[in-house]
Amino acid sequence: MTLLSLHDLSVDLRGRPILADITLEVGRGEFVGLIGPNGAGKTTLMRAALGLLPFTGHSSLCALSDAARARSVAWLPQAREIAWPVSVENVVKLGRLPHGTGTRRMDEAAVNMALDRMALKPLRHRTATRLSGGEQARVLIARALAQETPLLMADEPIAGLDPAHQIATMEVFAGLAAEGQGVIASLHDLGLAVRHCTRLVLLAEHRVLADGRPEEVLTPERLARAFNVTGYHAQSEDGPVFQPLRVVRDNDPRD
Amino acid sequence: MSRLTLALSLLVLALAVLSLVLGPADIPAAEGLRALLAGGEGPVPLVMREVRLPRMILAIVIGGSLGLAGAAMQGYLRNPLAEPGLVGISGTAALGAVLTLHTGLAALWPLALPAGALAGAGLAVALVMTLAGPRGGSLTLILAGIAISAMAGALTSLVLNLSPNPYAANEIVFWMMGSLADRSMLHVWLALPLSLLGWAMILPLGRGLDALTLGEDAAGSMGVSLTRLRWLLVLGTACVVGAGTAVAGAIGFVGLVVPHLLRPLVGARPSALLGASALGGAAMLLAADIAVRLVLPERDLKLGVVTALVGAPLFLHLIYRLRKEGL
Amino acid sequence: MNVCTDQLAMMLADPGQLLSVSAFATDPRMSSMPEEAAAYRVNHGRAEEIYTMRPDLVIAGAFSNRQSVDMLRRLGVEVVVVEPAYGLDDVPDRIREVGRALGQGDRAGRMARAFEERLARLRSGRDDGLRAALYYANGYTSGGKTLAGQILQAAGFRNVAEEVGLSNGGTMPLEVLAMTAPDAIITGRPHAGAARAEAILDHPVVRALRAESADMVVPDTDWVCGTPHALDAVAALREARLALAAR
């Protein structure tokens, strides 16, 4: 079943084209890594798909009512904002807002599950704003998980986390996909993307430059074209390994 | 009902009774309360029903409104400095009221007075929200507030100075500091319906304000219609502040002090803060009004004097703390 | 340059002797003699405008703008400052004082004696125990040590302000007024233009008291100044008292 379907989606901001004619489908069981250089439009693509930005074309999510969309997709913005000194538990509970009242027991279960998945149970009663940046990021991921939507969209969810929590978070996302949900996350760490994502979508030059299994997408030509880097790619007994190596200066006139 | 709500309700009740039995005329408490309930002939029922009762009701309605409006604005702007008085909403409401009084509109149509104040307040809320932006930075918020307050204050003084009535110029203080002295049931009927309307608009916004804790994008994706929220907040705040200011002048700092004190007690959740701040605001204004009667009963000390004496140091403290966190 | 001395001066001066009166003297809300005042040039109490009229003498009130008075004196103009009348018994002295300043001592003496005789006539009469309250804008009242309070007393009323210890006058809270339950309540005539200060006179409590007692609206003009017109106020109030006592 399709969780997100974009058709000919284009976004212009202040007269400049950011995205042109994006067509994309994401289904159940997929953990899509949205990759691309800075300014490629990863955030813009997700926000437009959610209807948070004006765009032309079609987005299946945007066609839904506010309430229905809130039960179909959870969105984790890049700006990690917690405005008030609320407890961790109460932040995570906010994820239950779209489900209305009268579902107390289900709410509690969802909150507990989310706290558990992000290893936040010990921090449950702490004040969220007094936690470290990485801890706050995990609290916010837990909030999105508590929303219990078929699709989760996250903007750079693992930036600023320590290696253990980066890996743990990627595993949580991969686990959700394995359970039949869908996850779309923009990522800069190509190594983690290759190891955990079931599919990569490479955004560059205002469009989808490549879309497919990680090893198909990250070819040397595309790495050079989109990221200006070379990379090392290998299959270890512990799964695929990818490491960017050096910057290619193909645009440098001195070359 | 949570324990906090219960405690605040009891506090409001106790202060309300105190407000009824205290006054410059020496009326024994029991006799006064009996006259209030049973009515009858003579001056005591008159004093209780026409002087002290409206004063008590207005303190609750206006205090509650200011507390509620402060909590709601802070929730929306995610800034503890947002307060109807400080950002110039009360001042502009006072200007609207003064304009209807001195153009004679209020004499032609009694509802013109609250309507004028409502229009003034609405204009100021809209202006503040536009200037301070959705994520109200403290600096912009305070600067916008200074500009709007100064403008409204100057225009109010101008209108009052131009009035042919020799007493009008002395009223600048009333409009800028607020007072509940000598209000009657007529004022209650002017302020109450509009205040109730405003409460009905603001109180259900709790869930949306909770979601806004995580920012506009997150709130939007959780099914909160930000446009609707913004409109209800602007209109609701304009209603409650306009209604209160029309009959009691601009009373500052209630919407700052009360949410600030109660926030830790409700776990900082904006939704829980709304009701608690309304009760807290009612209690604070009742207490302030009792204070002005006890301290200088003959001098008609203005309410704003008391609220500012409590509120201004707290305001400075808040600015200091925010500065440490970076504005 | 004072509404009270203006009126005394208009009564006492020879034709052509008085050059200018203050703008207040022409204001029917403040002055008992607005028509008479219309015949004179108007000043606003500013030293500059008064100096350019080149007067030999300026009569000012004790509450006239001090800066203007000092400036006029520095410019070499003679200024006589007349204290206001704090009671009815002060009035003959004020009349004589203004008369002396204008060189109209005889006329002033006659007027002062007439005032004293009329006052004595008005004061006679028995005390029928009727109590009245003076109530002005902002809840202000006047006690027995003020001109207005003495006018009330001369008319034979007992002043409730005395009962609550406000013999100098001051703010009487609405509820205190209600508790005194006076037989008559005397308010000023509202000015043009709305003012919250005067809204208190429309408060239900004041309205209820008016309904139960005699309600008298007396023009402020005769109360403000210690001139022979103050006796008009006494006479008017005395009539009202007699009518009330007969009821």
CATH of the domain at B307: 1.10.3470.10
Could you tell me which chains touch chain B, where touching means 3 or more CB pairs under 8 A?
Answer: A, C
Q: Which residue in the set C171, C179, C198 is minimally distant from B47, CB to CB? A: C179
* Interface subset of B 236-265, CB within 8 angstroms of A: 263-264
Whether B10 contacts chain C with CB within 8 A: no
Domains assigned to chain C: 3-120 (3.40.50.1980), 131-246 (3.40.50.1980)
In a domain, B103, yes or no: yes
Using DSSP's 3-state secondary structure scheme, residue A254 falls into: coil
Tokens of C84: 């206001």
Report residue B138 CA to chain centroid gap.
Answer: 21
Q: Do the Cβ atoms of A71 and A36 come closer than 8 Å?
A: no
* Tens-digit pLDDT profile for residues B146-182: 899 999 999 999 988 888 777 777 778 888 888 888 8
Task: Count structural domains, chain A.
Answer: 1
Contacts with C, B 68-127, CB within 8 Å? 101-102, 104, 106-107
Residue B327 has a pLDDT of 46
Low-confidence winner among B46-60, B121-135, C79-93, C96-110 (lowest mean pLDDT): B121-135
* Contact by Cβ (8 Å): A145, A120: no
> Torsion angle, CA of A114/A119/A121/A123, rounded to 10 degrees?
-110
Report the pLDDT value the prediction gives residue B102, as an integer from 0 to 100. Answer: 85
**Is A255 within the bounds of a domain?**
no
What letter would DSSP give residue C192? S
Separation CA C212–CA C215 (nearest Å): 9
Q: Which helix (H) or strand (E) holds A211?
A: strand A207-212
Pairing, β C20-22 against β C41-43? parallel
In a domain, B15, yes or no: no
pLDDT exceeds cutoff 60 at A252: no
Structure tokens at A237: 């007994």
Residue B63 above 80 pLDDT?
yes
Q: For an interface test with A, give the residue of B222, B228, B263, B318 to mutate (most A CBs within 10 A).
A: B222
Give the range among A73-77, A220-224, C108-112, C235-239 with minimum mean pLDDT.
C235-239
pTM score, two decimals?
Answer: 0.87
Task: Identify whether A71 is part of a domain.
Answer: yes
Residue A151 β-bridge partners? A73, A182
B165 → closest Cβ in C170, C178, C193? C193
Residues 6+ apart with CB under 8 A from B42: B35, C181
Question: Domain span at residue A14?
Answer: 2-247
The pLDDT confidence band at residue A255, using thresholds 50, 70 and 90, is very low
Distances, alpha carbon A175 to alpha carbons A27, A35, A180, C57, C71, in Å: 15, 20, 9, 103, 92
CATH number of the domain enclosing A32: 3.40.50.300
A88-138 pLDDT, tens digit each: 999 999 999 999 876 788 899 999 999 999 999 999 999 999 999 999 999
A88 within 8 A of A125, measured Cβ to Cβ: yes
pLDDT band at C114, cuts 50/70/90? very high
Decide the pairing of beta strands A2-13 and A16-27.
antiparallel
Closest-CA residue of B relative to A43 is B217
Question: In which band, very low, low, confident or very high, does the pLDDT at B134 lie, cut at 50, 70 and 90?
Answer: low
pLDDT digits (tens, 9 = 90+) for A226-248: 999 999 999 998 889 999 999 98
Whether residue C213 is predicted with pLDDT greater than 50 in this model: the reply is yes
Per-residue model confidence (pLDDT) at position B82: 86
Which two three-digit tokens encode residue B282?
């009612």
Q: Is the pLDDT of residue B133 over 70?
A: no
What residue of B is the nearest CA neighbor of C208? Answer: B46
How far is it, in rounded angstroms, from Cα A139 to Cα A124? 9
Separation between Cα atoms, residue A112 and residue A109, nearest integer Å = 5
From CA B215, how far away is CA B230, in angstroms rounded? Answer: 14
Helices (H), chain B: 3-21, 29-38, 43-47, 53-77, 89-102, 105-108, 112-132, 138-162, 172-177, 185-202, 206-212, 216-221, 226-248, 254-262, 270-295, 303-325
Q: Are the CB atoms for B152 and B207 separated by under 8 Å?
A: no
Nearest to A77 among B78, B215, B264 (CB): B215
The beta-carbon neighbor of B267 closest among A67, A86, A140 is A86
Nearest CA in chain C to B185: C204
Whether residue B21 lies inside any domain: the answer is no
Instruction: Tell me if C191 and B165 make a contact (CB, 8 A cut-off).
Output: yes
Indicate whether B282 belongs to any domain. Answer: yes
Cβ <8 Å between B268 and A84: yes
ipTM: 0.90
Res A45: pLDDT: 96
Contact assignment for A50 to B221 by CB distance below 8 Å: yes
What is the tally of structural domains in chain B? 1
**Residue of A80, A92, A94, A103 best to disrupt the B interface, most CBs of B under 10 A:** A94
Instruction: Using a CB–CB cutoff of 8 Å, tell me whether A94 touches chain B.
Output: yes
pLDDT tens-digit map of A159-215: 989 999 999 999 999 999 999 999 999 999 999 999 999 999 999 999 999 999 998
pLDDT at A25 over 50: yes
Chain-chain contact of C181 with B42 (C-beta, under 8 angstroms): yes
Q: Are B38 and B49 in contact (CB under 8 A)?
A: no
